[in-house]
Structure 1
Amino acid sequence: MEALDKLKIHRTPQKKSSPATKVRHKGWLLFIALLAGIAVIYLAFPGVFNSRTEVAIGTVSLSYPAQEYTLFNATGYVVPQTKADIASKATGRLEVLEVEEGNHVKKGDIIARLENQDVLASKEQAQANVAVARAGLLEAQAELKDATLALKRAKALVDKKFINRETYDTAVARHDKASAAVQSAKANILAAQARYQEAKVAVEYTLIRAPFDGVILEKYADLGDVVAPFSSTIESKGAVASMADMRTLQVEADVSESNLMQVKVNQPCEIQLDALPGERFRGRVHMIVPTVDRTKATILVKVSFVDLDDRILPDMSARVAFLSKPLSPREQKPYIVVPSSAIIREEGQAYAFRVNDNEIAHKIPVTLEKQLDKKRVIVAQGLQQGDKVVLNPSADLPEGAQVAPKGDS
């Protein structure tokens, strides 16, 4: 019996929760839900909990010293002064094209070749004719040598009256004829050489060479096209390619007549290209073209680059600042400028409130260089181009304040 009693399962009745306990559980659940809702609202709408101070915001920018010495500005385009459309003097089908756009070529390099089997054959024939003419000269010279010896013998014999005068006259005539044959052979060589030179020129006409050092700008013909000089038909091409000498790039700017008296040859300039907005290039006036465009009331002024750059390409649009004085090496570099109203001073130290991407203003020390004008000051350290700063910050604006640009909702 005792063993059976040990096998019995004794069940203890569970205690039922009191109403007060249930109320406490529900209260905790509601509190947790409220905290979660507040967190969601904070993440989605941080401005509900953070008050933001409305401020005026400015931007740190670059300023180039040349602006201080600029007399006036003019616009124009980059133009190579040495440019050519390369064509052939002969007519034929394009058989070889050695270049593509952008290739650098040297003067005399073969750019393309026309079919030239016929002129090559004529050249070889002319060369052979030169060899034949030279062989004829050797034969004539041998005959002249023999005739000269015979004449000497005949003269000795006729003086001793061993031969009659008629035989001697025959020897003289033979010598004269051989001498004339030598002169004729020499003339034949000259004629053959001239024909050979003509054949070489004909072959050269089928080879299209670069007339100067430069860069291929554009191709006008492809393999198989018929190339003809002075062509104006659709079926044939007049030029194979165009090229330019990049060392002769200049800006051709249109200068208003009213500014003409402020321009002179070798005057310093600063060139800005629309394709390279962050770059400034030194230039100088190369030429003032003495012709006025009456439709625009402008004069063409050519401005050369002092320092060429591989990034400068023909037909780029440009803006030229004509300067009153040359720029020093320091003045060729841009200044970092900030609105003067963004600078505050405390105990001899300059500060500015820089606004980050989260629209939080941080008070940072800056090193000033000099006052550029009434509204801007040059910064040596502390700020970079593109930084946003608070303008006219109030005295009670704290470090790390959440700010908002004026006018934003």
Structure 2
Amino acid sequence: MAKKLIKWVVLLVVIAAVVFAGVKTISRKKAALAKIPTARIYPIVAPTGVARQSSIQLTVPYLAEVQSDSDVDIASKVTSRVDMIVPSGTSVKRGDVIVRLDAAELLARKKGLELKISEVQNQIKAKYADLKNLKRVHEHTRELLASQVIPKDKFDTEAANIESLQATIAGMKNRAAALEQNIQEIEDSLTYTRIQAPMDGVVSKTYVAEGGIATTGKPLLSLAGGDGKRLVVRVPDDVRPTALLTEGADEPCPLLPLNSTFKGLDEYSCQMRTDLAAGSRVEVRLLVFSGEGFLLPFNAVLELNGKHQVLIVQGDQASPKSVQIRGEGSQGLVVEGLKAGDEYVVAKPDILLKLLTGVAIVKAAR
């Protein structure tokens, strides 16, 4: 019993010693930490700008597509072999023959129809001769019937034969007229074997080579008519460009909304004279803002929770001021909510956030 008591006493003494040592160590550490001086917060050196109202134009780079309302695709209206087609790059005048198709098959069909018409007309002549004889005999029969020399049945039979022959002749005439109509259709098709340029222009592309087969409805070549074209841009619905600027142009080209969309993008167009082929793409700049306002660099505006702020310098502090974005382009941001003469901070977002916590600012030398 005494030994067990001694063990418990020793255990309690050891625990007390450990606790005392720990408390002593913690007290020593706290004293050492208390002697360390507090870290000094240094002011931030940042560039600043001064708000000045001015006339501003904002642009963004973009790609425009060259289109032409005067460019046409010349298609074939008959299926035939291509005897001649002018090559790409050829300048043509209105009325020049630009495609010639093989007309041999059409001419052969026309010749065959003419022979059939001639045959039918000969048959009609023969039937008219038969009809003339029938009418002469029938007239004689009428005289005999009046004298009651022959029965009336014979007279009626002859009358029926005359009506039948007249119907046959009418049918043959209809057949001849149908053949004539077929010839007219072939003659119309023959006019399509010799295709003329509908306007002055340049053959921009050919789709069939000489010796190839032209198919009805399929284009043979494209004809670019002159230099009057338009540039078309397609932009998201939150972009509202008013004009387009091209390299070397003296004046911006006004953009007109086409009130149409292409794959969800709004289309705008401006008329322009250019030698570029339809379908080409050209680098342009879109005018997205034009007017009076305060132009700030992108690093001068801080976005927090969907709102925009500019840090205004007041002594050695920077105070936030809410602004509204009126326009955005390559040149910067146009804002409202500032006053002329306001001095603002220009820095990366992390620096602006530090200044919002109250860190002092030192203006960088300009």
Q: What TM-score comes out, normalization by structure 2 length?
A: 0.50
Name which structure has the greater RCO, CA cutoff 8 Å, separation 6+: 2
